[in-house]
């Protein structure tokens, strides 16, 4: 499959010339188009569909990415996709089936559980292919919750965003095994490129974060929730301070999303460890390429498994050293000993929840000389470009659509 160049010279989307999806209509359904991996992927796939001449419908309640969706050729279908009320979901099945029939939809792709039940009902009513994507692991031990989660394994094709996620699906729903396709989350390397970020953007962020010119930044960019590891980084920062490391600002970038009690816990821990002014909460960051360049080290110290590891990929694309928990899917994105020889390292993996190991790895990364840091960044960029590009994700997803519509995949009958 050929690719055409995007502005800036990056080849990102399949060529529209004689593409099997040209003229087709594909509908994705997701609760909202706010910030997040699932939401960003929805927009990326819509753009890829529009590029090959397909109509890309997205049924969703709205969100901050709706404008970008429409700018990139997608079509917003306002729809109460976030509801989990059983009666409303039944009503939504009929509404979505009517939309699909009227718009001539050829395939439905669901990216979350509640809308997946709606999408499944509509797709089966119209006898059209149904695809799901696991963007994360779904917890639940009760029979009701297991049944509710099972809809994500009922697609004619079930896309997993990592090998880790694929293994989780196989373990929970063995019957889905032959229908699982691993398609890693893709990053737009024309955006996440050091050459694409003007110095003014970096300086603006450092000013907003109140980082002094002589200070280096250790960044944790994630929503403020316990399992993202903010407390582990705070404890690591205290250890590094006590070891004599100075002139470092530890930045916690992310929205609390209503978790006010957790924010109070973080602030109390910062105060207790005498880190006020050293560890800083800065809220949501809208310029992540600049943030990753502004950082001397990026940390992903999750204490529970990540289904992919987008921050680790994006930071490596910017040439910034990364330290990640050796847990979930994130290790798939970062090369580190003993899995590879030291000269092939692209980052550090540490045991989850281990503040001492995190401090040691951050200290080692901060201690890299100029040549070693450049070499590490060059290896990291090449590694993620090879395995986690936007074009690989878009091409793989559109190939799934094409195979289903052309009958190359056997569809479920129930």
CATH of the domain at 169: 3.40.50.2000
Q: What is the pLDDT of residue 39?
A: 94
The predicted model scores a pTM of 0.84
Q: Is 413 a domain residue?
A: no
Q: What is the pLDDT of residue 179?
A: 96
Average pLDDT over residues 112-132: 97
383, containing H or E segment: helix 370-387
* Cα dihedral 313, 314, 318, 323 in deg (nearest 10): -60
Q: Angle at which helices 310-317 and 370-387 pack, to 10 degrees?
A: 120
pLDDT surpasses 50 at 1: no
Nearest one of 53, 41, 27, 30 to 106, comparing CA atoms: 27
Q: What is the pLDDT of residue 135?
A: 85
Q: How far apart are the first and last CA of the chain?
A: 32
Share of the chain above pLDDT 70, in %: 95
Residue that the structure tokens 């207790």 belong to: 272
Tell me: cis bond preceding 338? Omega within 30 of 0 counts.
yes
Q: Is 288 a domain residue?
A: yes
Average pLDDT over residues 152-166: 95
Residues 170 and 86 in one domain: yes
Residues 174 and 218 in one domain: no
| Strands ordered across the beta sheet of 157-160 | 74-78, 55-60, 25-29, 107-110, 130-134, 157-160, 180-182
Q: Angle at which helices 230-242 and 260-272 pack, to 10 degrees?
A: 10
Q: Is 152 a domain residue?
A: yes
Residues 266 and 400 in one domain: no
Q: What is the pLDDT of residue 8?
A: 37
69, containing H or E segment: helix 66-71
Higher-pLDDT residue of 37 and 228 is 228
Residues 23 and 99 in one domain: yes
* Cα dihedral 108, 112, 118, 120 in deg (nearest 10): 50
Q: What is the pLDDT of residues 137-151, one digit of tens each?
A: 777 678 888 889 999
Average pLDDT over residues 148-163: 95
Is residue 408 packed enough to be buried (19+ CB in 10 Å), middle (13-18) or exposed (0-12)? Answer: exposed
Residues 315 and 255 in one domain: yes
Q: What is the pLDDT of residues 186-237, one digit of tens each?
A: 999 999 999 999 999 999 999 999 999 999 999 999 999 999 999 999 999 9
pLDDT surpasses 80 at 12: no
Average pLDDT over residues 91-109: 98
Nearest one of 296, 282, 299 to 208, comparing CA atoms: 282
Assign 15 a pLDDT band (cuts: 50, 70, 90): low
Q: What is the pLDDT of residue 35?
A: 74
pLDDT surpasses 50 at 6: no
3-state SS assignment for residue 357: helix
Q: What is the pLDDT of residue 17?
A: 65
Average pLDDT over residues 273-301: 97
* Cβ proximity of 209 and 224 under 8 Å: no
Backbone angles phi, psi at 331, to 5 degrees: -60, -20
pLDDT surpasses 80 at 20: yes
Least confident of 14-23, 199-208, 269-278, 299-308: 14-23
Share of the chain above pLDDT 90, in %: 87
Q: Is 414 a domain residue?
A: no
Domain hosting 21: range is 3-186+389-405
Q: What is the pLDDT of residue 57?
A: 98
Give the total number of structural domains in the chain. 2
Task: Report CA 368 to chain centroid distance, whole Å.
Answer: 28
pLDDT surpasses 70 at 10: no
Q: What is the pLDDT of residue 14?
A: 67
Residues 174 and 65 in one domain: yes
Q: Is 52 a domain residue?
A: yes
What is 293-320 written as a DSSP string?
HH-SEEEE--SS--SS-HHHHHHHHTT-
Distance CA 329, CA 319 (A): 20
Residues 398 and 313 in one domain: no
Least confident of 60-64, 290-294, 304-308: 304-308
Chain-wide mean pLDDT for the chain? 93
172, containing H or E segment: helix 163-172
Residues 336 and 370 in one domain: yes
Average pLDDT over residues 379-405: 97
Distance CA 47, CA 51 (A): 6
Residues 162 and 223 in one domain: no
Q: Is 411 a domain residue?
A: no
Q: Is 124 a domain residue?
A: yes
Assign 413 a pLDDT band (cuts: 50, 70, 90): low
Average pLDDT over residues 11-37: 84
Q: What is the pLDDT of residues 345-379, one digit of tens each?
A: 999 999 999 999 999 999 999 999 999 999 999 99
Q: What is the pLDDT of residue 4?
A: 40
Q: Is 109 a domain residue?
A: yes
Residues 147 and 210 in one domain: no
Residues 321 and 226 in one domain: yes
* Cβ proximity of 320 and 348 under 8 Å: no
Average pLDDT over residues 329-355: 96
């Amino acid at each position: 499959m050929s690719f055409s160049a995007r502005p800036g010279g990056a080849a990102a989307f399949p060529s529209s010339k004689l593409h099997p999806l040209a003229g087709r209509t594909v509908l994705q359904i997701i609760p909202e188009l706010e910030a997040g991996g699932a939401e960003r992927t929805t927009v990326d796939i819509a753009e890829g569909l529009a590029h090959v001449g397909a109509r890309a419908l997205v049924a969703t309640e709205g969100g901050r990415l709706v404008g970008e969706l429409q700018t990139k050729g997608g079509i917003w279908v306002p729809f109460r996709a976030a509801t989990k009320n059983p009666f409303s979901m039944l009503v939504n099945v009929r509404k979505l089936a009517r939309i699909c029939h009227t718009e001539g939809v050829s395939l439905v792709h669901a990216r979350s559980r509640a809308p997946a039940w709606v999408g499944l009902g509509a797709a089966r009513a119209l006898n059209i292919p149904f695809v799901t994507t696991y963007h994360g692991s779904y917890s639940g031990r009760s029979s009701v919750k297991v049944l509710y989660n099972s809809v994500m394994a009922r697609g004619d094709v079930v896309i997993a965003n990592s090998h880790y996620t694929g293994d989780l699906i196989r373990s929970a729903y063995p019957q889905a095994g032959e229908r699982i396709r691993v398609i890693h989350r893709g990053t737009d390397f024309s955006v996440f490129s050091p050459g694409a970020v003007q110095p003014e953007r970096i300086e603006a962020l450092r000013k907003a974060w109140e980082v002094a010119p002589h200070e280096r930044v250790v960044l944790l960019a994630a929503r403020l929730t316990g399992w993202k590891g903010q407390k582990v980084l705070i404890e690591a920062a205290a250890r590094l301070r006590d070891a004599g490391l100075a002139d470092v600002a530890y930045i916690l970038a992310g929205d609390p999303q209503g978790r006010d009690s957790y924010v109070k816990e973080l602030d109390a821990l910062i105060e207790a460890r005498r880190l006020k002014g050293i560890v800083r909460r800065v809220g949501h960051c809208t310029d992540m390429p600049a943030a990753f360049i502004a950082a001397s080290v990026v940390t992903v110290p999750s204490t529970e498994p990540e289904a992919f590891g987008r921050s680790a990929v994006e930071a490596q694309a910017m040439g910034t050293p990364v330290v990640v928990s050796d847990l979930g899917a994130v290790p798939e994105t970062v090369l580190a000993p003993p899995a590879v020889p030291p000269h092939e390292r692209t980052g550090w993996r540490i045991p989850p929840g281990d503040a001492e190991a995190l401090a040691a790895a951050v200290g080692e990364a901060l201690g890299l000389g100029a040549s070693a840091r450049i070499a590490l960044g060059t290896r990291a960029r090449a590694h993620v470009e090879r395995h986690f590009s936007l074009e690989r994700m878009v091409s793989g997803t559109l190939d799934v659509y094409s195979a289903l519509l052309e009958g190359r995949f056997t569809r479920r009958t129930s």
